[in-house]
Structure 1
């Protein structure tokens, strides 16, 4: 079972859901989740909740409790908000490198699926006829307490963009592409370190080479530790082949820690 998670309080989420139902043959079932209709197409289910999805820890267990079905993958269809109001199409995995300010738990990371995020990034980039920014985001916000792989795919970054039909269509098609292809996709996988929130170097590397990124720790993750990097590796579906460092976009002590850990674990060390 694959889950597309939406919420009634998110304009972008509802836009994406509408396009999924209109364009991909989803049908309403007799099931309800959090009191809302459940839509399905084959083994893909669209679920809707009533609050902010970033606070929905243990969603996988709740799906199993309410529907009697165990999810293998959860894709959150969501808005992205930023003060810059940069029109964007983004993807990322969730978790907190430090204190949990917006959902999840402190120093807790969700299970990343690098191939799924790379497929999302590539498909959004391919379909992007809006001229918007397409990028990874660094790992941030909740939920972090999930035991199945998950990712957010988002329309950013203001109410003006959230309701644009074409943006909803691009994200809907990208989600379906991910869910139909992620299980057989194979890429070398790296943990990403350094750079800004929108991970420009990691995004460029993923779009131009075969590398797929798992968790990305930005330069502003001040509390990044060896233990958290090990946790990021552990919480990566399918394993990790490399540690990638945005050299100019990271601190000296972080670079050295990352290099030492790569050597210790026998991983490739990539500096950019």
Structure 2
């Protein structure tokens, strides 16, 4: 069973929680449901590396607000991890175990009703922030990008309903190939398109600006934390000066290297 997790000071997370708990029963700190449980923390979820010391689940879905300087409304999801310093939770040079199957199902489900979210970007984000130390798969599902969206109860309820449907539906993504992504911006549009319309799902995504931090030790750590991955998908035209160095390292691994 999965545990959904939100922070009580996050308005978007709280709004999603308010929708979901209508069908759940509270038992201590946990809201119990048929397909998943839910907990609201009094500390930021980006710092929830301690979660498994109190809660034993098969995976974690973090419900969160999304913030960006652009202010462009966005509905995003991503895996977590730090390729250099830990600026917002987690440990430095550590990535979490991603949740590629759930991520693909969620984005496809969201895209299937994208006309209801006119004006919103629907996108993956590159791997960033914490928590990073959990031993089970995890994913962030975010509503953004300003207080107007975070406090829009109907919007957050709609996203929560899609999360609920995604979890309940049968996992039909086993035929999809899981990849680790290299290159692109923080909002990797080629990888997003591949998840929604293509045959790949994604584990960790290392954007162009973080490729400088990838050395052999970190690369093999990323591979170990992506146990279902057998492909490295390269956004070849958006890898910058580190492209050849990354390619040479990948050619020494067991991953199939695919350029897009």
Q: TM-score, normalised by structure 2?
A: 0.92
Does the 8 Å CA contact 1:75/1:175 hold for their aligned counterparts? no
Q: For the structure 1 residues 7 and 219, does the alpha-carbon distance in structure 2 shift closer, same or farther, using more than 3 Å as the test?
A: same
Report the alpha carbon displacement of residue 149 of structure 1 after superposing the two structures with TM: 0.5
Q: For the structure 1 residues 58 and 181, does the alpha-carbon distance in structure 2 shift closer, same or farther, using more than 3 Å as the test?
A: farther
Moved more, 87-96 or 259-268: 259-268
Report the alpha carbon displacement of residue 181 of structure 1 after superposing the two structures with TM: 4.0
Paired position in structure 2 for 1:60: 52
Which of 102, 105, 108 aligns to 1:122? It is 108
Paired position in structure 2 for 1:66: none
Paired position in structure 2 for 1:149: 137
Could you tell me how far apart the structure 1 residues matched to 2:142 and 2:110 are? 10
Paired position in structure 2 for 1:42: 34
Could you tell me how far apart the structure 1 residues matched to 2:154 and 2:5 are? 20
Does the 8 Å CA contact 2:35/2:167 hold for their aligned counterparts? no
Could you tell me how far apart the structure 1 residues matched to 2:253 and 2:158 are? 39
Could you tell me how far apart the structure 2 residues matched to 1:125 and 1:224 are? 32
| DSSP 3-state at the match of 2:82 | coil
Report the alpha carbon displacement of residue 81 of structure 1 after superposing the two structures with TM: 0.7
Paired position in structure 2 for 1:218: 207
Q: 5+ unaligned residues in a row in structure 1: which ranges?
A: 33-37, 64-69
Could you tell me how far apart the structure 2 residues matched to 1:227 and 1:251 are? 21
Report the alpha carbon displacement of residue 259 of structure 1 after superposing the two structures with TM: 3.0
Report the alpha carbon displacement of residue 14 of structure 1 after superposing the two structures with TM: 0.6
5 Å-filtered alignment, 1:47-126, equals 47-63=39-55, 70-126=56-112
Q: For the structure 1 residues 6 and 182, does the alpha-carbon distance in structure 2 shift closer, same or farther, using more than 3 Å as the test?
A: farther
| DSSP 3-state at the match of 1:264 | coil
**Residues 32-80 of structure 1: CA deviation (Å, up to 9, x unaligned):** 2xxxxx21112511101112110111212221xxxxxx20010000001
5 Å-filtered alignment, 1:176-255, equals 176-181=164-169, 185-186=173-174, 187-221=176-210, 222-237=212-227, 239-253=228-242, 255=243
Report the alpha carbon displacement of residue 204 of structure 1 after superposing the two structures with TM: 1.1
Q: Give the total of aligned pairs.
A: 256
Does the 8 Å CA contact 1:116/1:182 hold for their aligned counterparts? no
Does the 8 Å CA contact 2:233/2:258 hold for their aligned counterparts? yes
Report the alpha carbon displacement of residue 110 of structure 1 after superposing the two structures with TM: 0.7
Could you tell me how far apart the structure 2 residues matched to 1:156 and 1:247 are? 29
Q: TM-score, normalised by structure 1?
A: 0.88
| DSSP 3-state at the match of 2:238 | coil
